[in-house]
Amino acid sequence: MKRLIIGNWKMNLTIPGAAALGRALAAAVRPATDREIAVAPSFTALAAVAAALKGSEIVLTAQDLFWEPEGAYTGEISAVMLQEIGVRYVLVGHSERRQHLGETDLMVGRKALAAQRADLHPVICVGEQETARASGRAAAVVRAQLLRALEQLPATGASTLTVAYEPVWAIGTGRAASPSDAAEMHALIRDELDRTYGGAARSVRVLYGGSVSPGNVDELMATPGVDGVLVGGASLKAEAFTRIAAYRA
């Protein structure tokens, strides 16, 4: 299984800046047979970044989508619209959308299903708030988020699925989860995937997200059960993300 490194640019960079970063990464990131590198620009910059990445092996990712293929859904983006730009992966249920935009586990599952129906690869994001971890409920929260989302997907859905564990308390704080905490939660997610998909679950990658940096990526990628990382702020700097993409585990 190839490892997967995704840079989530969030609501940053206008089109010229996003295209420049795409060109810089296309020139700096070296291809490797054991890993896949992807970036997720804002919707407005997807086409420009796709052009900037042309000829490289860096894969285009979207930050969200809507669950219907078309219709009267002002402001939304469909899976087909993403597919025609060249998107392969799409994030669904990122903690910032859950927190600020009220996304529910049901909505996350519907979005993941819409992505799969359009031959896109959904990255289902799950993770607990700091209060849940402090009270010993982290495992229960993550398990519930994952299973409610997976309920929407067909039994054959494992082949195009990725899960990202992103503890909310680690995102943007500079305080990544410890290797032992990450290993514990990744093992929990893997157990639930095995129960849901059986042997097919081996194709599902489980990523870690939350204050990933050049300074901790090697340790994170050496952690049992971590199949890749979802990178936030560090992915906005070409040098930092290039180092992350070249992790040594």
Which residues are known catalytic residues?
94, 166
Q: Among 203, 15, 64, 234, which Cα is nearest to 245's?
A: 234
Look up residue 211 and give its amino acid.
S
Q: Among 222, 210, 214, which Cα is nearest to 241's?
A: 214
Q: Among 64, 93, 95, 69, which Cα is nearest to 80's?
A: 69
- Do the Cβ atoms of 144 and 106 come closer than 8 Å? no
- How are beta strands 35-40 and 3-8 bridged, if at all? parallel
Tokens linked to 73: 């859904």
> C-alpha distances in angstroms, 90 versus 111, 120, 227?
9, 7, 17
